[in-house]
Amino acid sequence: MWLHILITPKVLGRISVLVVDVLLFYVRINVAILRVPNQHDSNKLFRL
């Protein structure tokens, strides 16, 4: 019963928004790493 109550359009909408925010944050981190002047270190971090 709990799962049926928790899984509603509003909850799914909030989850989707959170997922999008996390993905955008991850992309920003990758872009910041790629912009580091030291290419060698940035490549190591990007491969992880």
For 12, the 3-state DSSP assignment is helix
Beta strands in the chain (DSSP E): none
Would you say residue 11 has pLDDT above 70? yes
In this structure, the number of other CB atoms found within 10 A of the CB of residue 30 comes to 13
- The mean per-residue pLDDT over the stretch 28-40 comes to 74
What is the distance in angstroms between the CA of the first residue and the CA of the last residue of the chain? 41
In contact, 30 and 43? CB cutoff 8 Å: no
pLDDT for 6 equals: 67
| Greater pLDDT, 2 or 30 | 30
